[in-house]
A and B are shown apart, each in its own frame.
Chain A
């Protein structure tokens, strides 16, 4: 089981209320804290578990950032205030009243948890990693999409190196594995992973199934990449489908909570105004009162107990299917198969409200109710099964249509001209200034920060979806413009320290960055 936790770097000290920062706040309340609470419950009950989880360097940076922590607490306090008002408002509506109470309890628990880890949730993930239950892996420094950086490989190297050194500074040991952003693999990039000391990565199913030569065990055993020897694990789609699929998947069950009915949109404007965007834009508050109910717009109130019951049944069903799958595979593989089930972490809790409950049921059932399957991390698997086939995996991603089209289409292909030019310029800077100090070094480090931030695949993704594109376009341009100015200023020997300080303050990610990572 692999959970991929990532959000792009959305930190805007220049504005008090920045809509996009809500991405982080929602994910903390709905996904990261519920997962941490689950880890705590399991540990308290002595239930053994193994999970692999990406915490992308941008996400880790935001979780550790004091400004964002402070703002999150403010956000959460307002949410708690709203839940109290809701308790009162729904006095004569029993079902909603109970839900309002549930939300108040949940938000208060969230705040306790947040304070318990001194407002830095990375501490929690580190704790469970140190206990051997959780294997935290890294990701590209800013989630740059590697296959479209093949022509400027120095940037792939920088994405990996900066991620690895950032991981070390946070977790006190090097990362063993990496989640390639968007599962995007291009042949040869495994060599860059090897140089950085990374021992395994993941691809989508076709990355392995279309590899050369044929993988003997399909996706049910990892392989080593030819040349680099880095291990490659591949996604099993049967288990994926049960959670991801909007048609057959569990999250569509009619008893589960409806994502789109939020009081931020449903309630009277003046009442809800203090809890939506200050400009009056209605947004999700996180308080939702309805269940999916059916395919029409008619929605019935959410019944937490019914949903919980379904989550338990779905966990049982998932486990049963894995048992059958493993039994069948073992018969003709004559070897213990590994089933790799990766999901976006934010799918659990944020999108699928009952996801964390489901996962907890699943873990408890696997630990207590059977002995056919067990949970394992990739590192443990490799220790137990060191002999694996050597092949060349195929270029692939887990994005739309399986390759690069999501990030390379009419609406976003214009960015690569600029990203590649900036990457080339960065390499030129590193060559021209191999050893500088003081202001020039600060400028070069900031140049690399700006380049990495511009490379986040999230911007190309949003541009590709065609909705809410202005923010993504602005971010791409802003970081590139700042990079270009730094490039020119460094070359002209005319760095404006005041301006540089301003940019350093705004884009403060990776304080320990070394510009020489880009070569």
Chain B
């Protein structure tokens, strides 16, 4: 008892010391070294661990300027960008700066409020587009305030350029922004053949089907549609992919119950203990805990302790029986 009291006092003292150290820390902001060392020795592993984690990696310098959490709504530039989604569809996004809108409003006066923002898509395949020489164009009416749009071109394998502009009440179109030019891919094999590497139609049809893993005689027209159906697409990053590749079947109602058995005890720390004839490791204080998955049936678990001097031996044998009954009821 006396020892314990002494220890308690010691702990108290150290705790006070620690407090004063902590106070000092906030005032002087100096790394206190000798007192902390002392504390480490006495307070044990956990504290040291906690402290280590503080210093094991250099801490990043604190951000000294306000960092916004969200991206800007716009970049103050006049710009339209056109991208290809697939053989049929394009995607355009744009930004019209406030000053450009103001200028248009001034120039067009009352006509401005009556005109509509539209997209005009030009087919510019194999030409040097100058604004007037497109093979054809079509207009896309966009929702008010839209800043991006998907455009159905209905024609794969073509080059496209898109203007964002105002359609005036009289039908006149004013280009405000002109996009980059993009080329959509073909939706099937090319009609062009190479003289030097000519190949008969029938042979190509076979190779074409085979390339899509469709055996030997798939008609060209159908092969690509079949391939799209096969859905043998890559699924991106590994772990994310797990959720995509094979969605777990939807389980509506489910229920599971299992049993585990905890066997625990204590003896002299230097004793030798076996459980079902297997030696186990004791904790420094002589206690032990074992955990078993418990199957149905009877488990006989002899636990034997032998004193360090091998003079004394004790056996305690729990016998555990598990019997699982199940029943199910579906109402209605």
Contact = CB atoms under 8 A, between A and B. Distances in A.
B278 to A, nearest CB: 8
Bin chain A's interface residue count: 35 or more
Interface in A452-508: 457-458, 461-462, 465, 467-468, 477, 480-481, 484-485, 496, 498-499, 501-503, 505-506
Contacts of A498: 61-62, 64
A210 B190 contact: yes
A222 to B, nearest CB: 13
Interface in B289-332: 290-295, 299
A400 B86 CA distance: 11
Prevailing SS type, chain A contact patch? helix
B245 interface: yes
B44 interface: no
B75 interface: yes
B248 interface: yes
Interface string A367-408: 000000000000000000000011100111011111111101
A417 B74 CA distance: 9
Interface in B127-154: 147-148
B104 interface: no
A325 B210 CA distance: 9
Given A7-B238, A457-B236, A148 B83 contact: yes
A212 interface: yes
Contact of B186 (A329, A350, A394, A462): A394
Contacts of A325: 210
Interface stretch (A87-95, A104-112, A117-125, A354-362): A87-95
Contacts of B85: 403-405, 408
Contact of B216 (A88, A328, A350, A351): A328
Nearest to A26: B239
Interface in B72-117: 72, 75, 77, 81-87, 91, 93, 95
B22 to A, nearest CB: 23
B291 A350 contact: no
Nearest to B297: A92
B210 A238 contact: yes
Nearest to B147: A417
B212 interface: yes
Interface in B203-254: 203-204, 206-208, 210-214, 216, 224, 227-228, 230-246, 248-249, 251, 254
B83 A93 contact: no
Interface in A239-277: 239-241, 244-246, 259-260, 268, 271
A90 B261 CA distance: 11
A72 interface: no
B197 A389 contact: yes
Contact of B242 (A6, A219, A351): A351
Given A67-B57, A481-B68, A505-B60, A210 B199 contact: no
A468 B199 CA distance: 49
A147 to B, nearest CB: 7
Interface stretch (B1-9, B11-19, B31-39, B177-185): B177-185
A260 B233 contact: no
Interface stretch (A132-140, A201-209, A303-311): A201-209
Contact of B233 (A96, A346, A402): A402
Contact of A213 (B67, B182, B194): B194
B240 A461 contact: yes
Contacts of B70: 477
A199 to B, nearest CB: 21
Given A187-B183, A260-B248, A496-B65, A210 B240 contact: no
A102 interface: no
A213 B186 CA distance: 12
Contact of A240 (B189, B213, B249, B258): B213
A394 B190 CA distance: 10
Contact of B243 (A399, A457, A467): A467
Contacts of A130: none
Nearest to A283: B239
A16 interface: yes
A216 B204 CA distance: 7
Interface in A17-68: 22-23, 26-27, 31, 67
Given A89-B291, A401-B233, A501 B83 contact: no
A195 B269 CA distance: 72
Contacts of B95: 417
B171 interface: no
A407 B60 CA distance: 33
Contacts of B41: none
Given A151-B180, A395-B185, A205 B211 contact: yes
A8 interface: yes
Given A212-B192, A402-B86, 13 more contacts: A90-B293, A148-B83, A214-B189, A241-B230, A246-B246, A325-B210, A395-B185, A404-B84, A404-B85, A417-B95, A461-B237, A467-B240, A502-B60
5 contacts: A268-B260, A400-B233, A413-B91, A481-B71, A498-B61
Interface of A: 6-8, 13-14, 16, 22-23, 26-27, 31, 67, 85, 88-93, 96, 147-148, 150-151, 182-183, 186-187, 205-206, 208-214, 216-220, 234, 236-241, 244-246, 259-260, 268, 271, 295-297, 325, 328-329, 332, 344, 346, 350-351, 389-391, 394-396, 398-406, 408, 413-414, 416-418, 420-421, 457-458, 461-462, 465, 467-468, 477, 480-481, 484-485, 496, 498-499, 501-503, 505-506
